[in-house]
Chain A
Amino acid sequence: MKPADFLPLRGRILLIDEIIEVRRGYAKTRVRVEADRPFFDPDHGWPSWVLIELIAQSVGIVGGYDAKVAGDPDPKGFLLGTRRFRAGQSWIPAGITLEIEVTEAYLDPGGMAAYDGRLLNHDIEADCRVNLYRQMPENT
């Protein structure tokens, strides 16, 4: 399974390198921090706020997976906002491989959803909640 199988993003802005696991309401993904990545600061690395995008893209993979299972060929949704973002450090240097886990916290039949995301790396603490709207197959 490749990230592009579940996300509409292409090219450099697709930041997730690998899907470790995906199932309904859950995904675990992997990202290598490299100097040629978007938003990378050559003096410091990735600013920690990029983790929000990594978590959001991982949530998108869950949504893409759920839609594929439901037989929806063209799932739509958009990010409403991020809450309670916490990061234990301001910058993430190149050479590190990040593992991200996202878990569905709430999904109503109308498509309002919330996911909890966090880094699984023991030496880097970061987590947040992502609120989004997912167009559900039954309300298209």
Chain B
Amino acid sequence: MNETASQRVLVTGSSRGIGRAIALDLAAHGYDPVVHCLGNRDAAEAVAAECVDHGAAGHVLQFDAGDREATREALEADIETNGMYYGVVLNSGIARDGAFPMLSGEDWDQVVDTNLGGFYNVLHPLVMPFVRTRKPGRIVTMSSVSGLIGNRGQVNYSASKAGIIGATKALAVELASRKITVNCVAPGVIETDMTRDAPMDEILKACPAGRAGEPGEVAAVVRFLLSPEAAYITRQVIGVNGGLC
């Protein structure tokens, strides 16, 4: 164990994909990740069990980050019972891709409400508890290359991810004097089950690195931003995209 021992870090959307990799990486480096899921409780419990193997408490939270009241209730109950987090990784998100003329209002609302609305829903109940601890804290949000440069078929997703960048930077300004850093990680093409069926050879023609990233490569950046050594880094967007943009 090191100085990060017992520091609780909430990782939303950590039952699979990049979020799972972040939770496991944090546990392997002495943090105590709180695993969160929307619906796949079994997968979240499996991630938590792996975290326990590394000495973490293995807590699991289940709530819909797009549901403001349910999110507030779940978070307030958790910190009341188990204590405040040292860090939050706002990773959960959804995509409903399609050409913009064919994009329904529901497609727009679901993606914006969950991804960008999730920023408010998750972080608003936690900000004052963060401040009251009078200790350094870390918030890492997850955007996307889609939020940086826009992506065909993802007008809703790009909007939500670009919104997260703006919200992250503004919150960073508000919290900087409290020694709470707020940064954003923007992954490019990462090998997860979301990209499994995509024609990677074609997509990667636009990527100078010539390969997809691995979830662990995103997790390593998140872990650094959570570390004590990253105390002077705030209001930043860190791309993990093989030079894609």
Contacts and interface: CB of A to CB of B under 8 A. Distances in A.
Interface in A25-82: 76-81
Contact of B153 (A83, A105, A112, A129): A112
A77 B199 CA distance: 7
Interface string A93-105: 0000000000001
Interface stretch (B33-41, B97-105, B120-128, B224-232): B97-105
A129 B101 CA distance: 13
B107 A83 contact: yes
How many A residues touch the partner, as a band?
Answer: 20 to 34
Interface string B86-108: 00000000001111011010010
Contacts of A131: 97-99, 102, 153
A108 B99 contact: yes
A82 to B, nearest CB: 10
Given A131-B98, A131-B99, 18 more contacts: A77-B199, A78-B197, A78-B199, A80-B98, A81-B96, A81-B97, A83-B98, A105-B102, A106-B99, A110-B152, A111-B152, A114-B98, A114-B99, A129-B102, A131-B97, A131-B153, A135-B199, A135-B202
B149 interface: no
Interface string A101-126: 00001101011111000000000000
Interface residues of B, number: 14
A133 interface: yes
A78 B198 contact: yes
A133 B153 contact: yes
Contacts of B197: 78-79
Most buried by A among B102, B107, B199: B102
Contact of A112 (B104, B152, B199): B152
Nearest to B97: A80
Nearest to A110: B152
B199 A76 contact: yes
A47 B96 CA distance: 24
23 contacts: A76-B199, A78-B197, A78-B199, A79-B197, A80-B97, A80-B153, A81-B96, A81-B98, A83-B98, A83-B104, A83-B107, A105-B102, A108-B101, A111-B152, A112-B99, A112-B102, A112-B152, A112-B153, A114-B99, A129-B102, A131-B97, A131-B98, A133-B152
